[in-house]
Amino acid sequence: MTGHSFLVYRRFLYLKLSLVLCGLLLLIYHIDKAFFLTLDEAPNGGTAVGYGLGTLATLLILILLWFGVRKRQYLSRFGTIQGWLSAHVYLGLATLFISTLHTGFQFAWNIHTLAYLFLVSVVISGLYGVWMYVVYPKAISQNLSGLTPDILHYEINSLEKECLTQAEALERPIFRQLQTDFAIDRTQMAKHYGEKQLQNDHDNYDSTLYFITECMSHYDEQPQQQQAMQHLLALLGRRNTLIKRLQRNQWQYNQLYNWQIFHIPLSFALLSSLIVHIIVVFLYR
């Protein structure tokens, strides 16, 4: 499954359904405005069509919220996750359009507008999530080049052992320096990586290279030792490249996860404000 397959699911089935639904509702909206409302009456959520649009938008919001439950029901046969995600994206956009028609473009400083603003926020954060799920899986695949994080960890450990063996035959300070650096890196790799952490690791690596390069000056007239040092630097370079790929992979996965920190709370805020909106409408209609 490609990173964008949910967008083209069954030849854009849910996009087509959403466009048809929005087109039909827009036609009903204009017919109601032209033939059923008085000249001094503007479309709003309190008309017959307004109530219908609001009811439909509410049902769609509940269906969209159910996606969070459905994607955790691994044994469910009620549609595929890919199909649910496709519907979630396109029906989410349709819900925003329908809700806008429901308002009749009548906004004020009240709970009704607040609920609408939460809906806008949820849709915007959702679009950002769509962008990430289209871009990041491809970036992750390119970064790993067909490998897995476990394989990268294994290769890094193998290179570290080879580096320590090489350093032990050279100078004791180099061996101790590498031992310290490798221990620090293993601790850091156990955590989540961000851009700042990547930069810190790069600085640490540069200081290690500088230290080894300085040691090389002691062997200007010892070609065999110089060659051994150069081999050690090559091993460290390969190790550093693999670590950066591993860290970048973790950072990319973190980005995919972290956007939900905003999207999910906004969704619950939308549900809460929607409930208050409905209660207020029926209490004061």
2 occurs within a structural domain: no
- Please give the mean pLDDT across all residues of the chain: 86
Structural domain total, the chain: 2
Question: Residue 285: in which H helix or E strand, if any?
Answer: none
Q: Specify whether 81 is located in the same domain as 116.
A: yes
Please indicate, yes or no, whether residues 19 and 153 belong to a single structural domain of this protein.
no
Q: What is the DSSP letter of 42?
A: -
Q: With a cut of 60, say whether residue 73 has pLDDT above it.
A: yes
User: Which residue did the predictor score with more confidence, 170 or 91?
Assistant: 91
* Cα–Cα distance for residue pair 129/263, rounded to 1 Å: 8
Clarify whether residues 58 and 93 are in a common domain.
yes
CA distance 3 to 6: 8
Residue range 80-137, pLDDT digits in tens: 888 889 999 999 999 999 999 999 999 999 999 999 999 999 999 999 999 998 898 8
Query: Contact 277/115 with Cβ under 8 angstroms?
Result: yes
Euclidean distance between CA atoms 49 and 244, whole angstroms: 57
DSSP state of 218: G
Q: Are residues 102 and 42 in the same domain?
A: yes
CA distances from 85 to 46, 124, 160, 208, 272 (A): 32, 16, 43, 47, 23
| Domain presence at residue 3 | no
Residues 58 and 190 in one domain: no
Cα–Cα distance measured from residue 141 to residue 148, given in angstroms and rounded to the nearest whole number: 10
- Provide the total of helices (H) and of strands (E) in the chain, helices listed first: 9, 0
Please check whether residues 54 and 20 belong to one and the same domain.
Answer: yes
Please determine, for residue 74, whether its predicted confidence score (pLDDT) is greater than 60. Answer: no
245 in a domain, yes or no? yes
pLDDT digits (tens, 9 = 90+) for 12-59: 999 999 999 999 999 999 999 999 998 888 999 999 999 999 999 999
pLDDT band at 285 (very low <50, low <70, confident <90, very high): low
- Which stretch of 40-44, 141-145, 183-187, 249-253 has the lowest confidence by average pLDDT? 183-187
Structural domain boundaries enclosing 234: 149-257
Residue closest to 93 by CA, chosen among 133, 135, 57, 46: 57
Residues 249, 229 share a domain: yes
Q: What are the b/e assignments for 211-221, b being 16+ CB within 10 Å?
A: ebeebbeebee
Q: What is the mean pLDDT of residues 215-236?
A: 77
Residue in 47, 68, 170 with CA at minimum distance from that of residue 129: 68
- Convert the pLDDT of each residue in 153-168 to its tens digit: 999 999 989 988 988 8
Same-domain check for residues 237 and 251: yes
Check pLDDT > 90 for residue 2.
no
Instruction: Tell me the whole-structure pTM to 2 decimals.
Output: 0.80
- 153, amino acid identity: H
Per the model's pLDDT, the better-predicted residue between 185 and 37 turns out to be 37
CA atoms within 13 A on the CB side of 152: 21
Is the pLDDT higher at 71 or at 229? 229
